[in-house]
Chain A
Amino acid sequence: MADLAYAFSKRHLLGIEGLNRLDIEDLLNLGDRYVELNRRRVKRADILAGRTLLNLFFDNSTRTQSSFEIAGRRLGADVVTMQVATSSVKKGETLVDTAITLNAMKPDLLVIRHASSGAVKLLSRKVDCGVINAGDGSHEHPTQALLDALTIRRRLGDIGGLRVAICGDVLHSRVARSNVALLNILGAEVRLIAPRTLTPPGAAGWGASLFTDMRKGLEGCDVVMMLRLQQERMDGAYLPSAREFFHFYGLDDEKLACAKPGALIMHPGPMNRGVEIESGVADHKDRSLITEQVEMGVAIRMAVLERLAAAAPVTEPAP
């Protein structure tokens, strides 16, 4: 593929905030190429041969972690994954000490997931390699937003002008924050649908319109993105019950009918069937993009790894 005149030059991918339209389009274009590669029988590229990718997961995640692992391996990198239980970090060395220790092992790229907002940024200040945020608390999850955009683009073409609804627990969702930012950059109309207790303060200023009535919010939407609702939010603190949430905010055929005919269904996973999404809708043959999102996840992560590895500073001394 011909090189674009604009070169991606970011050292870290900490959030969608900080990216511009050209960065995003570059990553999506490259992602498209890796989708093709991933569908071949032999899925190898040697772009990262000899480079070390370190996956550092302070918070459990099966799918994001394996997605990054597969992406790294397919690019030929040496991939090491560390599951660090948050409790053991708390007991002994500080998070920063952990980062300094790992940095001394000279990884080229560091993928970090942490349960606290801002933790990935904190770590990125202490290391020399490129850092990819694989989700920090309720803050950002940029590769999720990129893979969502790639999924939509491959199905509907230009994202500009589309109407996209993001529904559910927006307050605690890093997926929502990253997606609102990215969809705005690409010119989509974004709607946030959530009960008031799960709507972040100041969300009206995010470049999205807010709805508490899901049926109204879904009117004319091309894409409906559902968010995962954590079990602990349903104990009466934020919501009275799972049953009541499903009644008003669970995506079923009846509510989906309020959206544009043929509207597409997305979910970042893992799903709570019967809580935020009804099984029949989740498994909708033509309209559910949920498994496609997983496929795009590997491709977009390969794109991100390639670009950041190229931008990473060369550590060996000049000859």
Chain B
Amino acid sequence: MSNENVLLSIKDLHASVEEKNILKGLNLDIKPGEVHAIMGPNGAGKSTTGYVLSGRDGYEVDSGSATLDGQDLFDMDVEERARAGLFLAFQYPVEIPGVSNLEFLKVSVDSQREARGEEALTSAEFLKLAKEACKQVNLPVSFLKRGVNEGFSGGEKKRNEIMQMILLKPKLCILDETDSGLDIDAMQVVANGVNSQRDSERSFIVVTHYQRLLDYIKPDFVHVLADGKIVKSGDASLAKELEAQGYAWLQTEPTEDEIED
């Protein structure tokens, strides 16, 4: 079934939202340590991919499979997938008023540690880690005391997502248009945070609309997602090509589905 060298394996995935087919035969293999960028026009199914993999309510898998480390993702609850090492950085992080960031982070980390049979960190140990993570994404330590995303600017919310990623140490990170709404400075901070977490084990899916994020997070592979499937794959140079020419040229070549239709 799954290749031992593959972290994430998506096979012929079809998925729908409110009975509308969005993913129509997605295939993707990601090995440990690789960074894959997924680009594509609006409505291609980029964000849907992240939600389907993480198990959000309302995103129905119609057929196909996805495994993480050989485990069937679609057989697990949302929180089980997270504990198995899947992390989704949100495009629009939601606020949880009154719940301090520190509390939220510790409960998250404790939940994952518990699932792995590890002891909970003491408050002091955790606080130290959290402060370091703050520094890495350039957020003042005072943000730990504030409510989760409560009153944060767009950039602060995105940096907060990366901070969560740093503390949770996932195997696979899906960054869902993390660059949207960020200026160059903020994007650099976010990218540095991501880059600091790159190693030979951890893999990334960077979902983005624009090439500019990929100047800072260098991908190993770039895929173009259009109408629910990958229509073109290449290396980092493909992103440049897309930036120069847009997506329209891809759609002039009819896909197999369209020929069948």
Partners in one complex: no
